[in-house]
Amino acid sequence: MSVIERIQSQLESNPVILYMKGSPDFPQCGFSGQAVHILDACSAKYAYVNIFEDPELREALKSYSNWPTYPQLYIAGELVGGCDIMIDLYQKGELAKMLSAANSVAE
């Protein structure tokens, strides 16, 4: 399976997925930490990929998404954006609506 096929498989298998530096329990950059905090504040159910554990994916995802930085949040297979966009959507109440539409909010 090519790295692009792996990315596509991850996006298809997970309604919400965060490509981040580190893990939700141990974010390895401030932006990834903020992204996790925002998703937790929304009671989001999400998968994550630690890009440090897969250098091939880390490089391929930048061109796949046409987004050069991490974290990257995808909902329903679509790139939402990085930390700044997540903060903006969260503050407007839009992120919670997007997560709810993807059936990715904990009861």
Binding residues for [2Fe-2S] cluster: 29
**52 to 36, 59, 64, 73, 98: CA distances (angstroms):** 16, 10, 17, 16, 27
- Which DSSP letter does residue 47 get? E
Which 3 state secondary structure label does DSSP give 73?
strand
Supply angle C-alpha 7, 101, 8, rounded to 5. 10
Residue ranges for the known binding site are 29
Q: Which residues contact 98 (CB under 8 A, 6 or more apart)?
A: 75, 80, 89
